[in-house]
Every structure is written in C-alpha cells, then in structure tokens.
C-alpha cells in the first residue's frame, strides 16, 4: 500500500467519535497525528494545505478529510455554498477544523 | 513572536507552580509582558504565590470556560504587588477557588476548544510576549492540549524513582506531539547529591536537555509559597539557575 492508501485505511478504521479529544489525536499514527496537532495549534486548514501536510495528493486529502469529518474528528468551517442568484455551485474550497470534544461532566452530589 | 510555555510534571508537588511564578517574574524583570494561566482547575494554587486573595477574583478561568466573561476579563495585573522594580507586566488568569465552581467543572465539564481559543486571545488582547501555563499533575485533557500548543514544555521532576517513571510518560507524549523545545528541570535535589551526576543521569535516561538541577532549598521551604523566590533572594545561587532556565526558554 502507498502512503495515501495507508492513511485512508487508518481513517476508515478509526472509531466514530463525537468530537476528538487530544488523547484521540495522540492515538493516530504519523503523519495524521502531527497534521491534526498542527491544526489544533495553528488553526483550520483548507484541503490543499491539509494535503501538503500529509504529503498526499488532493484527491486523497479530500477522501481523508471526508472520513475524518464523518467520524467526528473534523468539522467544516466554511462549506461549499450554492449561489442562488445564478444557480451554480460555487466550489468554495472548504476549510477544516479539528472538532475538539467538550469535556463531559459526571454526576456528583448537588450539595458539594 | 510570542511564545507559549507549559510547565508540567507527571506527579504532584514537584514545584511546577513555584517554577512558573519564578519564570514569570524573571521574564517580566527583563521587560516582557507575561501571562500566567492556572489550568489546574481541580486544585488551583499559583495565585497564592502572587499574593492574590480569592476575594479579588472578580472573574476566573472557569467563568470564561462557561461563557460568562471574556478570558481577558479574568486577568489580574499582579505586577504592582511584586517587590523590586519590574519593567514588564505579569497578568494572572486564576482558576476559581470556590468549591461550587470546582464541583461545577466536574458536573458540567467544559468546552476544551474554548481553552485553546482563550490562550490565543490572551496573547492578542494583552499583547503578551510569553504565556506560561501552570498545569495539573499527570495527563488530562487540558494538559494534553497545553502540551500540544506549546512552543516550550518544561517538565519538572524530583530525583526520585517514581518521578523518573512518570517523566518518561510525559516525555513520550511530548515527542509524539513534536513539541519544539523540551526542557527538563530537576527540582528539590538533596544537597548531598552531586548535581552534575544527576544532570548526566537524567539527560541519559530521557535523551533531552536538562535546563537546571535545582537544590532542595530551606529558603524556598520557609518562603512557603508566600512570595516569589527570585524576587526575595535575588543573589541566591538558585535564582541564577532559574535565570538560566528563563534564558533557555525565551532567549
Ligand atoms: N527547590 C525547592 N526546595 C524546597 N522546597 C521547594 C522547592 N521547590 C518547591 N518547593 C516547595 O514544594 C511545595 C510544592 O511546590 P509547588 O506548589 O510549586 O508544586 P506543584 O508541582 O505546583 O504542586 P501541585 O502538583 O500540587 O500543583 C511548596 O511547598 C514549595 O514551597
Ligand atoms: Mg501547582
């Protein structure tokens, strides 16, 4: 398997989550782990830069981003938009952000 | 370019909060604008070192995480209450000491992404040169996040077998997250130990730089977190060592 196929395999097999924790990110292998870390540290990335970080081609990067999105690790900050005035689909390149999971609470006594 | 420095240790009581407060004072003494965030939400403490009383905290990091204020609203300028002339600034962002607030974090959780945004906003709003993050011991979500976004991670450890094992865990995480600069600080070294040998052993064990081997100091114990060591003892050898750490973290 080549680099792209290996990453696609990894993101296809990773468990679906409701937002990623840093522990989830740590569990990915390279180059996914450091790319996701980069996105946490430096902010969202458009798909071409996501591809550059992963060192894969654009098509593979789109598949990887889509799987991570479906599995709850990424979210789209800007989605493709339909321009209603002339009914064409404006292919705005989506920008992806790591969806950090909120820290869940747990039941503790009210009078604490 | 501002820098984010996290101060962490796997085990508790190693001297993180004291190290953080001393580094903040040394950087501010160089004229830098420094933010100090207490992310130890479960057991806050660093405010004591800066002489901040609970009643002075109009807002805390907790309020920001619950969407009840801007993060900079929780910042307290602690510079005026420090001894000596400090040309820079120190802003403390404390965690709440109220039992109800600590319980609320446990009960409701909070948005970790907000913590990340809050760091960036503090740097921007307060024009910080450095943001120091004092962490909870061990690895939890806010600590992992802090490590991930740091330019420098300082791990504090004692020359103790339990600390050696715990530090290995944090070093591994830092490597996996490719932290740009990883520094080890050995603290509370008994005076009978040969500090050069301790340094060599620690460097060999973890394969990373030891920025200082700090002695166990009676003066520090006696100060009992009621002040900042480097300001109280400017000519003490330990102050010189802490200056070296500050210089290494922010040249
Ligand atoms: N070099 C030293 N020599 C003697 N005592 C020290 C030294 N460094 C720190 N201490 C003392 O150790 C105690 C713990 O220090 P501190 O609160 O800074 O540790 P910490 O790692 O932040 O603890 P926690 O994990 O509970 O947050 C304090 O009483 C402090 O005065
Ligand atoms: Mg502490």
The domain locations on chain A are 3-98
Digit-coded pLDDT (tens) for A13-70: 999 999 999 999 999 999 999 999 999 999 999 999 999 999 999 999 999 999 999 9
Best of B154, B166, B221, B238 to mutate for ligand 1, by most ligand atoms within 8 A of CB?
A: B221
Give the pLDDT mean for B212-241.
95
> Using CA atoms, how far apart are residues B82 and B68, in angstroms rounded to an integer?
29
Are the beta carbons of B148 and A103 separated by less than 8 Å? no
For the CA atoms of B126, B127, B132, B133, the dihedral, rounded to the nearest 10 degrees, stands at 50
Asked if residue B15 has its Cβ within 6 Å of ligand 1, the reply is yes
* Domain B3-249 part of CATH 3.40.50.300: yes
Residues β-bridged to residue B17: none
Each residue of B98-124: pLDDT tens digit?
Answer: 999 998 988 888 888 899 999 999 999
First to last CA, chain A: 55
- 3-class DSSP state of B189: strand
**Beta-strand runs (E) in B41-104:** 76-77, 89-93
- The yes-or-no verdict on residue B34 having pLDDT over 70 is yes
Residue closest via CA to ligand 1's atom 19 equals B15
Average pLDDT over residues B230-246: 97
Q: Which residue has the higher pLDDT, B142 or B167?
A: B167
pLDDT of amino acid A92:
60
Helix, strand, coil abundance in chain B, percent, nearest 5: 45, 20, 35
User: What per-residue confidence (pLDDT) applies to A107?
Assistant: 76
Query: Left if phi > 0, otherwise alpha if psi is -120 to 50, otherwise beta: which for B226?
Result: alpha
Residue range A85-105: mean pLDDT, rounded: 76
Residue A87 has pLDDT above 80, yes or no: no
pLDDT of A105 reads: 80
Helix (H) or strand (E) holding B152: strand B152-157
A111/B contact by beta carbon, under 8 A: no
Cα separation, B64 vs B66, in Å, equals 5
- Confirm or reject: Cβ of B188 under 6 Å from ligand 1: yes
Q: What is the ipTM metric for this complex?
A: 0.90
CA distance A96 to chain B (A): 14
For A24, how many CA atoms within 13 A lie in the half-sphere containing its CB? Answer: 22
Q: Please tell me if residue A77 touches chain B, with a CB cutoff of 8 Å.
A: no
pTM of the model: 0.94
Percentage, residues of chain B above pLDDT 90: 90
Mean local confidence (pLDDT), A59-82: 88
- Counting one residue from chain A and one from chain B, the pairs whose CB atoms sit within 8 A come to 60
Nearest to B224 by CA among B34, B7, B18: B18
Fold classification of A3-98 is Arc Repressor Mutant, subunit A (1.10.10)
Residue A95 predicted with pLDDT over 70: yes
Whether residues B144 and A105 touch (CB distance < 8 A) is answered with no
Interface contact B112-A102, CB threshold 8 A: yes
The pLDDT score that the predictor gives to residue A79 is 61
Strand, helix or coil for residue B147: helix
Question: What average pLDDT does this structure show over A70-85?
Answer: 76
Quick check: helix, strand or coil at residue B27? helix
Residue A8's SS3 state is helix
Which atom of ligand 1 is closest in space to residue B14's alpha carbon?
21
Nearest to A103 among B100, B110, B176 (CB): B110
Q: Tell me the average pLDDT of chain B.
A: 95
Asked whether residue B195 carries a pLDDT value surpassing 60, the answer given is: yes
Please check the confidence at residue A84 and state whether its pLDDT lies above 70.
no
Distance from CA of A86 to the nearest CA of B (A): 37
């Amino acid at each position: 398997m080549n680099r792209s196929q290996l990453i696609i395999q990894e993101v296809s097999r990773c468990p679906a989550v409701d937002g990623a924790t840093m522990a989830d990110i740590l569990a990915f292998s390279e180059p996914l782990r450091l790319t996701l870390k980069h996105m946490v540290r430096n902010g969202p990335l458009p798909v071409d830069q996501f591809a550059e970080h992963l060192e894969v081609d654009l098509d593979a990067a789109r598949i990887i981003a889509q799987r991570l999105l479906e599995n709850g690790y990424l979210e789209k900050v800007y989605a493709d938009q339909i321009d209603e005035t002339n009914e064409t689909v404006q292919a705005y390149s989506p920008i992806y952000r790591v969806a950090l999971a909120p820290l869940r609470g747990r039941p503790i006594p009210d009078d604490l | 370019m501002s820098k984010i420095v996290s101060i962490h240790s796997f085990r508790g009581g190693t001297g993180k909060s004291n190290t953080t407060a001393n580094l903040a004072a040394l950087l501010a003494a160089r004229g830098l604008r420094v933010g100090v965030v207490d992310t130890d939400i479960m057991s806050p403490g660093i405010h004591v070192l800066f002489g901040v009383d609970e009643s002075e905290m109009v807002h805390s990091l907790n309020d920001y995480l619950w969407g009840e204020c801007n993060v900079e609203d929780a910042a307290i300028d602690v510079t005026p209450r420090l001894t000596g002339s400090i040309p820079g600034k120190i802003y403390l962002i404390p965690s709440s000491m109220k039992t109800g607030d600590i319980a609320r974090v446990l009960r409701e959780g909070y948005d970790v992404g907000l913590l990340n945004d809050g760091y960036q906003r503090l740097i921007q709003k307060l024009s910080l040169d450095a943001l120091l993050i004092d962490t909870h011991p061990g690895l939890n979500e806010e600590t992992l996040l802090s490590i991930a976004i740091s330019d420098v991670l300082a791990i504090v450890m004692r020359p103790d077998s339990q600390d050696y094992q715990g530090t290995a865990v944090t070093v591994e995480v830092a490597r996996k997250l490719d932290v740009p600069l990883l520094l080890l600080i050995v603290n509370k070294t008994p005076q009978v130990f040969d500090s050069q040998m301790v340094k060599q052993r620690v460097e060999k064990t973890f394969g990373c730089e030891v920025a200082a081997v700090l002695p166990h100091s009676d003066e520090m114990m006696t100060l009992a977190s009621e002040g900042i060591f480097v300001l109280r003892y400017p000519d003490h050898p330990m102050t010189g060592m802490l200056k070296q750490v500050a210089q290494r973290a922010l040249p």
